[in-house]
Structures are given as C-alpha cells and as structure tokens.
Amino acid sequence: MNNLLVVGSVAFDAIETPYGKTDKILGGAGTYITLSASYYGVPINLISVVGYDFPDKYFTLLRGHNINIEGVEMKKDQKTFFWSGKYHNNMNQRDTLVTELNVLADFDPVVPTKYQNADVLMLGNLTPIIQRQVIERLEKRPKLIAMDTMNFWMNIMHEELLKTIKLVDVLIINDEETRQLSGEYSLIVGAKKILTMGPKYLIIKKGEHGALLFDKDNAFAAPALPLESVFDPTGAGDTFAGGFCGYLANTNDFSFANMKNAIIAGTAMASFAVEKFGTEGIQWVKYKDIRKRFSTLEKITAFNFPSNIEV
Amino acid sequence: MNNLLVVGSVAFDAIETPYGKTDKILGGAGTYITLSASYYGVPINLISVVGYDFPDKYFTLLRGHNINIEGVEMKKDQKTFFWSGKYHNNMNQRDTLVTELNVLADFDPVVPTKYQNADVLMLGNLTPIIQRQVIERLEKRPKLIAMDTMNFWMNIMHEELLKTIKLVDVLIINDEETRQLSGEYSLIVGAKKILTMGPKYLIIKKGEHGALLFDKDNAFAAPALPLESVFDPTGAGDTFAGGFCGYLANTNDFSFANMKNAIIAGTAMASFAVEKFGTEGIQWVKYKDIRKRFSTLEKITAFNFPSNIEV
C-alpha cells in the first residue's frame, strides 16, 4: 500500500456565507487534504506548522483519522495561521477579510525520517519555495507529485512558481488560474501550454461546473455532484485534491484512465465538504455514503449513444 | 419518420466579438434551430416571418437543407427583424446594441395545412403568447413540445410565460434563467420547482460548462465539447436545441435515456456553431465530422470506476 505525504497549512478559518458565520474554526489546506484522503485507507503523513494557540482537540481529530502529525511543528512563540473570508450570494466569489500568516511567515518544512520514502506527495497551496524545499528534502523522488497553487503566487513569485511546477507530475488549479498561468483564454489551448511547463497532467477545477483533466493526448470532463445546498465552499478544492491523491495512493495506478477515477473520488469528497461549514462535512463521512456518491456520479454522466444513428 | 415543426425568428444579426465584426448576416433562432436539425434527416417545417429586405439567397440556403419554408411569411411593407450585439473578452457576456423588432412586432403565426400533424414541435424564443398560439393552432397535440425562452419574458410577461410553459414537455433555458424562473439559487432545487410548473423535462444550458437534464427522478450532466477557439457564441443555444429536437424526431424515443443522447447530439452541433461567425459553422458540416464529435464526447466523459474500491 502506498503512503501519502501531504504538505499544507493547518490553520484557523473564520467564514461568513449567506447561510451563517463561524468563529475561528479548524481550516487549512493540509487539514482538508488529509481528512479527505483518510477515507481511502492509506498511511498519511502531514508536514505543517501551528502556533501555541492551536488546541489539542484538533490534533485528536487528525489522529483519529490515522493522520500522522509527527511532522506538524508547534511554534511556542507564534500564533497559528489565520484566514477570514466572506462569500457573496452566489458562493462563487469571496472576499478575503483577514490573512495573518503568523507561523507560516518563516515556515521551514522539516521532513521527519519516518516520512522519507513517500510514495505520493501532495503539495498543498503554499509559497512555491516551500513546496520545492519539500521535494528537495526527500531522499528519493516519490512515484507521483501533485501540487496546488493559486493566482497570488503567479502574481508575486512567478519565476519561483515555474521552477516548482517543472518538478511535479500533476498540477491542480482552477479555470482562472489556468488562464493566468498560460496567458490563454481557451482552457484547451492553455492546458496544452501548461503541459509543456513540466507537469504530465493538468487538472482544472471549475467549482460547481466540475473538473477537467488533460494530458498531452487525452481530455476528461467530470461534472460536480449536483447538490441541493452548498453551505460553505471553503476547502472544496483541497478536499478534492485529498480524495484524488488518496485514491491514487490506494490504487497504485497512475495512468490517465485511473486518474479519471481519482477525479471522481475527489469530486465525491468535495461534495461532502461544501454541505457543511469548515471541515464538519468531511469529519465523519460514512463509507456507504461515499459509495453512494460514486454511483450518483456514474449515473449522471453515463449515456449510451447508438452507433447506428443516421448522421 | 417523425417530422419537426419549428417556430422561431429568421433575422439579420450584426455581431462583434474580440475576433472580428460582421455586417448584417443571417441569424435568428428559427434559422439556427432548423439548420442544426437538418443534419438529423427529418422533414422540417419552419414558421417565421421576414421583411421585404430579406435576400433570396438565404431562402435558397434553407431550402438546400430540405427545410420547408412555406410557413415563412414575407411582409412586403416591413423590414426583417434585426439584432446587433457585442461580446466581451470572455465571450460569456454580451451587450445588445440594437433590437429592431420590425416584422416581429405584430407577428401572427399561421400554421399551413401541410404543417398540421407535427410530431415534434420546437418553440424558439419568441413572446410566450406567440409560442402558445402555435400550440393552439395545431389540430392535434404533437408527440413532444420543447420550448426555449429567456429572462426578458420572465421580466415583462411572467404570467403569459407560465401559461405557455405549462403546455410543454421540455423547457430549455440557461442557468441564470433557471434561477430567475424558480427563485432558487441552487439549480437542483430550482429544477425541482420548475418541474412542477408543467414540463416533464428541464434542460439547463451552461455554455462552455455544458448542459444539465432533469426529470422528476433523474439527472444527467453533459460537458461542452472542449474547443481550441470560440469565435462567436451567437446561436449556440438554438443550434443545441435544433440538434436535440432533430435527434429526438429521428429516433422517435422520448425517454430520459434517449434525451441524454439527444443532448449529446445538440452539444455536438453547438460546437460547430461557435467555431465560426453566425450560421457559417453549421451551413456545411460533414457527417463524418459530426460523428467524430459524438465520439469525442463519449471519450471525454467515460470512466470505469472499480466496484471493489475499499471505501
């Protein structure tokens, strides 16, 4: 069984949506990714950093999902990373109200000895320099490296970002980021361009419109799972990435055909995340409910086009 | 073989996109719908109205696609409907620059005797009163009635619109119109509500993000065909509707399962429409190219999720 190494923030989020408002709750890319991946039954090692104000109950939650937190450093003189945001009515746009980097400002990721020999590495959204440091501090290249990033790094650290992107197998970004990184409006043309920058696979996340997967020769389009209510989109992309990587680690098949299944796995997990505030939706998911969402995704995408249509 | 009766505008459009600008060219919902449907080899009857300025060459074009234009009235004292619009850089938003109703202002649709016994009726976007008149002027209810409409009628003729919607089997609108008509932000909740207003099927068009199909018990999500270049989105929705209805008329199967195939047929046709200006993209499509796009849509949506994944 492959293990999964995840690097990403473990943080406090305060979220406001049209449906309500939270105080500081558990958040962070590393949190969403590992919680989501944990349902795929692979050993998970997390590298992150928190401050003195980070409560033990959250560590208990992560440990309860068999997430190894030996690599989560606790800084005794600094506070935990804090993000606060407010979603607009349509849930597709949000304003960042507060970003306090705190412990993340000088985060120097340490790879514990037990974390060496990582099979699948997922780099959550962080500065591209930190992401690259983790790759460089691994004695052996993982079988698969996936990374998330965001427009912010494209704006202020473009060269560093390109250096890191060059080292990974799968880049996971959204449609606007694809346009910005490639300089192309067409996602197809943009994808082709990005696939010359290093990654063999590009995943374009489109929120409620699903996700696209590209390699040099193939494309795949998955819808999002149609939901009656979306309470909080925070962490949906990270949850998607966690399900994707957890599935790939579990199945040990990194072909395009199996990446399609991994996208279905990630899509199913993301659908749970957005139904509740923060990480609530993915804290205690029943396996049978996950399997139900796989079936729904199969059902709503399947069609049987006749080969003999007279056209 | 079922016949298809189409009611819709035959018009002049002047279009500006980031890629170029046209003079007055052939446009109109009735034009796009019938041209698109013509590739599905069913007898097509068109009801519309044009003015004295409408050139013969466009009639020749329609006739060349075996579209019966006996029901296209020509008013000798009025001009043809004219619409002019400008697309923004992202092609998803457009401004209407000019709308001259001309012949459409007092359009009183006449159903020629030869058009009675319509099997499939497609009501292109027009006032809901005219759409209803056509239904009422048919001696026998068609096997299937589909209709398009738009937010404009929701704003100024809401009651009339509801009366017409009540009479149809398939309503074809976009995501924003779904939200407006249902008063619900969630497309799923909105779809459920609209399905209590009369239609048995709702199709939600999402442009570059594909289309959704709903009935009371089922959902289907189709992607758009990924394209390298979109030159002009004008008529894409009508072309989709034409392919959809043409396919259903051809196959004579109005089940949910076959509506999914009809959506694939409509999606394939729409992909040709947007690649060129106006109707150019669907004037002379090779059958083998249409079949190729069916295959592409099958290929980019298919996945084979294992039943034994340990979740």
Strand partners, B6: B46, B122
Looking at residue A89, its amino acid is N
pLDDT attached to residue B310: 66
**Closest Cβ–Cβ partner in B189, B297, B303 for A264:** B303
For residue range B50-78, list pLDDT tens digits in order.
999 999 999 999 999 999 999 999 999 99
What is the structure's pLDDT at B311?
65
Burial, B294: exposed, middle or buried (Cβ in 10 Å; 0-12, 13-18, 19+)? Answer: buried
**Architecture category of domain B4-301 in CATH:** 3-Layer(aba) Sandwich (3.40)
Residues in chain A: 311
* Contact across the interface for B301 and A298, Cβ inside 8 Å: no
Choose among A37, A105, A111, A36: nearest CA to A72.
A111
The count of C-alpha atoms lying within 13 angstroms of the C-alpha of A167, restricted to the half-sphere facing its C-beta, is: 20
The pLDDT, as a whole number, for residue A42 is: 97
Cβ contact, residue pair A310, B41, below 8 Å = yes
pLDDT of B91 > 80? The answer is no
Report the mean per-residue pLDDT for chain B.
96
Nearest-CA distance from A8 to chain B in Å? Answer: 24
Give the residue from chain A lying closest to B193, CA to CA: A228
**What pTM does this model have?**
0.95
Q: Under a CB-based contact definition with an 8 Å cutoff, are residues B31 and B11 in contact?
A: yes
Nearest to B221 among A189, A223, A304 (CB): A223
The pLDDT, as a whole number, for residue A310 is: 66
The per-residue pLDDT for range B291-301, each reduced to its tens digit, is 999 999 999 99
Tell me what pLDDT residue A299 has: 97
Determine the Cα–Cα distance for residues A88 and B140; give it in Å rounded to an integer. Answer: 49
Whole-number Å distance between alpha carbons of A187 and A202: 11
Identify the bridge partners of residue B202 per DSSP, sorted by sequence position. B171, B214
Residue A152 contacts by C-beta under 8 Å, 6 or more apart in sequence? none
CB of B169 closer than 8 Å to CB of B195: no
Residue A73 C-alpha, separation from nearest chain B C-alpha, in angstroms: 30
Could you state, in order of their start, the residue ranges of all structural domains in chain B? 4-301
Percent of chain B at pLDDT exceeding 90:
93
**Nearest CB neighbour to B310, from listed A187, A227, A250:** A250
Residue B18 pLDDT: 86
Identify any residues that bridge with B87 across adjacent strands, giving them in sequence order: B94
Contact A300 B40 (CB under 8 A): no
With CB atoms and an 8 Å threshold, state whether B311 touches A298.
no
Residue of B nearest to A294 (CA): B305
Contacts of B206 in chain A (CB under 8 A): 209
Cα separation, B200 vs B138, in Å, equals 21
Q: What is the β-pairing status of strands A144-148 and A170-174?
A: parallel
Separation in Å, CA B124 to CA A44, A175, B28, B242, B245: 55, 32, 9, 9, 11
Tell me whether residues B264 and A303 touch, CB distance under 8 A. Answer: yes
Distance from CA of A174 to the nearest CA of B (A): 14
How confident is chain A (311 residues) per 10-residue block, as mean pLDDT? 97 92 96 98 98 97 97 97 90 87 95 97 97 98 98 96 98 97 95 98 96 98 94 96 98 97 98 96 96 97 85 65
* Res. B272 pLDDT band, cuts 50 70 90: very high
> If DSSP codes are grouped into helix, strand and coil, which group holds residue A16?
strand
Q: Which residues of chain B make contact with A304, given a CB cutoff of 8 A? A: 257, 260-261
**Contact criterion met (CB < 8 Å) for B228 and A188:** yes
Q: Residue B27: which of B77, B68, B61 has the closest Cα?
A: B61
Give residue-wise pLDDT tens across range B118-144.
999 999 999 999 999 999 999 999 999
CA within 13 Å, CB half, B248: 28
pLDDT band, residue B19 (cuts 50/70/90): confident
Both tokens of A37, joined, read 């991946």
Residues A257, B89: C-beta atoms closer than 8 Å: no
Nearest to A264 among B186, B219, B305 (CB): B305
Amino acid identity at B13: D
Length of chain B in residues, anyone? 311
Closest CA to A235 of A226, A243, A225, A246: A243
CB contact under 8 A, A303 and B210: no
Query: Does residue B88 register a pLDDT over 90?
Result: no
B109 in Cβ contact with B47 (< 8 Å): yes
Contact between B305 and A298 using a beta-carbon 8 Å cutoff? yes
